Amino acid sequence: MNIWLARLGHKEFNSKELDELITISNQCGFHSENYYQYKSELIHYVSFFTEVKITGKTYNYDSDYLRAYSGLLVNNTGNSTDFRHAKSLFIQSSLNSLATMLAGQFALIEANQNQFRCAIDAIGNHKVFYHTTTTGTCYITNYLPFLRPFKKREINYQFLIDFIANGGTYGIESEETNVYIIPASSEFTWNRESGLKIRQYYSLEEMLNSTESSLNSYGQVAEKFQHAANYLANHHNLVVPLSGGYDSRMILKMFRDKDLKNITTFTYSDHPYDMYLAKKVAHSKQLKHIEMKSVGELLSAEELHERVADNYPFISYSGVFAHQLNKDKYDLEDWDKVHIRGNTAVHAAIRKLNHLNVNDGEKAIRMLAENRVNSKLLNDFGRENSIKNFEKNYKEKYLNLYSKHENVHITKLHYIYEKFGNHQGYRYSFSRTGKPEDIYFPFADRSFLKLILSSEIDQYIKQDKNSIHHKLFSELDGCEIKKFPFSSGPHWDASKLERKIFRLRNKLKKRILAKIGIDDKKLSRQKQAEFMAANLPYFKEVVHSNPNSGLWDYIDRTNFTNWTSSEELAMKNMKPILRVIPYLKLGI
């Protein structure tokens, strides 16, 4: 993991500015002695990084030429190249061909005396931001707080409203006015003669133009996944969140026939059934497995705010359960760990919104925008603004595809292609102040996205025996679908009889627990309910104390105030409350 900032123009960073950057890097877990500088007449690049002796990564070489990267590079080609070393990596291929070849979430960087170039991964999960001043100086960085010494803070309220109301943001704008995000599969170029240019080196249309047969595609995706697993197992120590469910078990299948001694799995003690499945899977593969337990008294809202305030702009109190966990004793956040996460797609939502599959692209985008915007939270102005912003960005990205591709489905694009690029990797990598980490989403690999974007909607439903998950699992496991080795519970590889027995037992158990007054909800849900009940007076005070917040231009204040008037209403509207309150607390 490394964070960096480049100043493109005629003036280098002075000593005071460098000291400020060192302070910021120390605050997020990097040590000031681990940094590198590249200088030319027009370019000053500074990079702070984790210890080379731990990670084996090297980022920069040569005083007269910059070769660097940030994020995680993953080799899924099957060759033996070690992608941790920038010099050997860049000598082999051009920037564009490298970006197209690699898996992972990353930014590739090259610079000489007159030009700076940066290429972003295919899904845009590793965020890179840029800001141009009125004098023409351009700042570019993969860590937004690095802009604090050089730019007055100006809140982009529409960006925040999109996140609060919709759970996502769309387009290239960021939480800072006049700070923009380099799009997925794009190359940023800056030089003296032509200034700043951004061009796409790989398009979504290319991803949709699949001429491969379905059978070959599954085989190719499985092969790439196994190459990636082989590379990661050889060069990194890994940690996998394990629920015993679809995605985490698919990830473990990527490592079939590999030495799993450098993989640690962990499971949140959120629900007994998840823990049962996870332990069984981990034991069957002889994996080191950790149960993450909730300890201590429930955090107050003030205590929670202190922990999560550094997560701006995606600050939320919804992770109250995770913050009850005593993670320090588990040693899961070391710098030498790569965190592998699943998160494929919201399959139930895709099926639910199947009616949006219409031939008129503008109509489909408008229908999805109206469906996504939380009408209860926003006032008329906020709702219409959010819908317009959604439509504008989606029309620019997807509208022309409707006239060229019969299989385009706006919900597929939204829930799958957008899901991985929507700040998840950026948020996760920097959300643990003091211990930044690399993250890898296998299902954000271009080959997998290409496969599912060309598949029928019905194949997304994981319970279906003909689903994408079943076919890919079969390829990874080297067996027929009917021979799945694990058969407990209501999951996709259980028999019909096992499903029926489980559902019957579960129904009887819930009735018995209800009679004796025990809540069978997930522990995280119980903690959220306790937190809401204990902090309603606090929420009311925060709302009352911030009558002039810019958020009220977009949010229906009457509705929101009413939600905090009772525990019942607060629980029904928990998600927007836990997103809005921390911004009000920050005085935004």
469 to 275, 352, 515, 522: CA distances (angstroms): 22, 19, 38, 25
- pLDDT, tens digit, for every residue of 295-341? 667 888 888 888 777 767 778 888 777 777 655 556 555 556 788 88
* pLDDT value, residue 256: 80
Residue 537: band (very low, low, confident or very high) from pLDDT cuts 50, 70, 90: very high
* pLDDT value, residue 464: 59
Weakest mean pLDDT among 153-157, 332-336, 417-421, 456-460: 332-336
* pLDDT value, residue 324: 72
Percentage of the chain exceeding pLDDT 90: 23
What number is the average pLDDT over the span 406-434? 66
Residue 513: band (very low, low, confident or very high) from pLDDT cuts 50, 70, 90: low
217 alpha-carbon distance from chain centroid: 25
Torsion 329-438-242-322 (CA) sign: positive
What number is the average pLDDT over the span 36-42? 89
* pLDDT exceeds 60 at position 346: no
Record the tokens describing residue 24, joined without a space: 């910021």
Mode of pairing for the β-strands spanning 288-292 and 195-200: unpaired
* pLDDT value, residue 489: 46
Q: Annotate 310-333 with b (16+ C-beta within 10 A) or e (fewer).
A: ebebbbbbbbbbbbbbeeeeeebb
pTM strictly above 0.85: yes
* pLDDT value, residue 305: 87
- Residue 15 phi, psi dihedral angles, 5° rounding: -65, -35
Counting every residue, how long is the chain? 588
Residue that wins the pLDDT comparison between 37 and 495: 37
Question: Cβ contacts of residue 105 below 8 Å, gap of 6+?
Answer: 71, 72, 121, 123, 125, 126, 425, 439, 440, 441, 444
Residue 433: band (very low, low, confident or very high) from pLDDT cuts 50, 70, 90: very low
* pLDDT value, residue 548: 92
Gap between the Cα atoms of 62 and 16, Å rounded: 26
**Phi-psi bin for 185: left (phi > 0), alpha (psi -120 to 50), beta?**
left
List the domains of the chain with CATH numbers: 2-202 (3.60.20.10), 206-345+421-507 (3.40.50.620), 347-415 (no CATH), 523-586 (no CATH)
Q: If you average pLDDT over each of 169-183, 208-222, 438-452, which comes out highest?
A: 169-183
Residue 423: band (very low, low, confident or very high) from pLDDT cuts 50, 70, 90: low
324 alpha-carbon distance from chain centroid: 22
* pLDDT exceeds 50 at position 485: no
Residue that wins the pLDDT comparison between 514 and 380: 380
Weakest mean pLDDT among 53-62, 123-132, 390-399, 557-566: 53-62
Residue that wins the pLDDT comparison between 440 and 424: 440
* pLDDT value, residue 484: 39
369 to 173, 400, 426, 551: CA distances (angstroms): 18, 17, 24, 20
531 to 65, 298, 462, 571: CA distances (angstroms): 53, 7, 33, 10
Gap between the Cα atoms of 20 and 23, Å rounded: 5
Weakest mean pLDDT among 115-129, 330-344, 353-367, 422-436: 422-436
